[in-house]
């Protein structure tokens, strides 16, 4: 049986109510599925490899850029050293991160076959979020490659250099959407695109909880007939909750309830949370509630309570919460990005530009019959998108490396 070393800088925190993001969720779900199916022997290399210097999950989401860059360097160095103790003839490596991942070039020189999961393409992320679309990802990659390292800010040097090393020295890149494969090809060429495997994540089974939505309405004092919007993610600028609040300034219907579930996380989360609360206080006819981080049955109860799920992210590689909303039979309104294009269909809801958020919400709320049909179609489709299938596909890919 082959041995897989799975490095995950946000791994090892299963069940902790901390908004680490989709990468941590995928690491937890893959380890759970592989522990059940046992396709190979797998060992998770998580921050505990740093010993006494290991940060907690709560530490990670509060680091500023400089401290997070140091953590990336320290974890990468420790994970690489740990892997190099193993025999490359019977061991393959899977990286759950890029900037935080092991040294792909050093491992390749030592004979290890390295695959890396792209939860975020950093070039595309910086182009979309920090530069607001003013430069294309491939342009940033070319610029950064030409910039002398001494002139490049350490964190930018880290993330661009590590992503290039992963693409050039890795056996394969695993991405959740076709759009991400296209960006990698544009940034690094046809040879890099040829090594990309598209594996949509899907969802894990979730049992309905009859009456849970009604209990939440009673908890928060929401009238039984009041329309409810739900958005669920960590509170951070790329998640676009501000775009939704700005759109709802034009709401002129009956009293509307909005639940913004999640907690601030990572570099700009706290300041962004303060901005959201200020925007929410200025709304008229919209009751906005910030319930904090939700998980497990309570998360499912929020899906059950909502009338429409809104996915206003500026940039998403996939969108795990969108899939969970569709699984729960919740019609959705999304902004246009890789994540929404990978999952949404016209029969489930609408993909719009920021200016189209409010009209799309109004159209769905105006027609309970349409929402009902969309919810049934969404749940039926989501039931075919099984996370277990994604885990099995990755297991087959990794096993093929030692054939």
pLDDT tens string 179-234: 999 999 999 999 999 999 999 999 998 877 788 999 999 999 999 999 999 999 99
Contact 209, 297 (CB under 8 A): yes
Measured distance CA(2)–CA(157) in Å, rounded: 34
Confidence of residue 146 (pLDDT cuts 50, 70, 90): confident
Structural tokens at position 233: 């993610």
> Does residue 334 surpass a pLDDT of 80?
yes
> In whole numbers, what is the pLDDT of the chain averaged over residues?
94
pLDDT, residue 28, reads 96
Q: How far apart are the first and last CA of the chain?
A: 11
Q: What is the mean pLDDT of residues 95-110?
A: 95
Q: Which CATH class is domain 3-202+387-400?
A: alpha beta
Strand partners, 235: 264
pLDDT, residue 41, reads 96
Q: 212-382 domain in CATH 3.90.1150.10? A: no
User: Of 342, 335, 349, which is closest to residue 317 (Cα–Cα)?
Assistant: 342
- What global pTM score does this model have? 0.94
DSSP result, 6-63: EE-TT-S-TT------HHHHHHHHHHHHHHHH-SSEEEEE-GGGGGGGPPPHHHHTT-
CATH 3.40.50.2000, the chain: domain bounds? 3-202+387-400, 212-382
Contact 199, 175 (CB under 8 A): yes
pLDDT, residue 330, reads 96
Rg over alpha carbons for the chain, rounded to the nearest Å, is 21
């Amino acid at each position: 049986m082959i041995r897989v070393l799975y490095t995950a800088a946000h791994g090892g925190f299963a069940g902790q109510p901390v908004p680490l993001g989709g990468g941590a969720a995928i690491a937890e779900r893959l380890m759970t599925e592989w522990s059940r199916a046992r396709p190979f022997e797998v060992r998770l290399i998580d921050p505990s490899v740093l010993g006494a210097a290991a940060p907690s999950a709560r530490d990670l989401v509060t680091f500023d850029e400089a401290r997070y860059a140091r953590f990336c360097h320290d974890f990468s160095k420790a994970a690489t050293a740990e892997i190099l103790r193993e025999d490359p003839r019977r061991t393959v490596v899977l990286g759950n991160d890029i900037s935080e991942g092991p040294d792909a070039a050093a491992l390749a020189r030592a004979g290890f076959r390295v695959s890396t999961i792209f939860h975020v393409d950093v070039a595309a992320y910086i182009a979309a979020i920090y530069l607001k679309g003013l430069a294309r990802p491939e342009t940033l990659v070319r610029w950064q490659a030409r910039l002398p390292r001494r002139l490049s800010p350490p964190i930018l040097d880290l993330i661009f250099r590590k992503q290039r090393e992963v693409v050039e020295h890795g056996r394969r890149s695993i991405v959740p959407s076709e759009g991400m494969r296209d960006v990698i090809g544009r940034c690094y060429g046809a040879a890099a695109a040829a090594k990309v495997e598209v594996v949509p994540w899907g969802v894990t089974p979730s049992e309905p909880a009859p009456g849970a939505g009604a209990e939440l309405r009673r908890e928060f004092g929401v009238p039984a007939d009041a329309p409810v919007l739900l958005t669920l993610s960590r509170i951070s600028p790329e998640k676009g909750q501000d775009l939704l609040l700005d759109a709802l300034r034009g709401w002129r219907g009956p009293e509307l309830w909005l639940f913004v579930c999640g907690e601030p996380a990572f570099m700009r989360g706290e300041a962004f949370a303060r901005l959201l609360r200020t925007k929410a206080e200025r709304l008229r006819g919209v009751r906005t509630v910030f319930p904090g981080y939700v998980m497990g049955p309570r998360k499912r109860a929020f899906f059950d309570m909502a009338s429409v799920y809104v996915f206003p992210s500026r940039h998403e590689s996939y969108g795990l919460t969108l899939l969970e909303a569709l699984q729960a039979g919740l019609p959705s309104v999304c902004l246009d990005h890789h994540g929404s294009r990978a999952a949404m269909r016209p029969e489930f809801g609408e993909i719009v530009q920021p200016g189209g958020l409010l009209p799309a919400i109004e159209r769905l709320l105006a027609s309970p019959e349409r929402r009902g049909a969309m919810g049934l179609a969404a749940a039926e489709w989501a039931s075919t998108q099984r996370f277990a299938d994604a885990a099995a596909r990755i297991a087959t890919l990794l096993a093929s490396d030692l054939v």
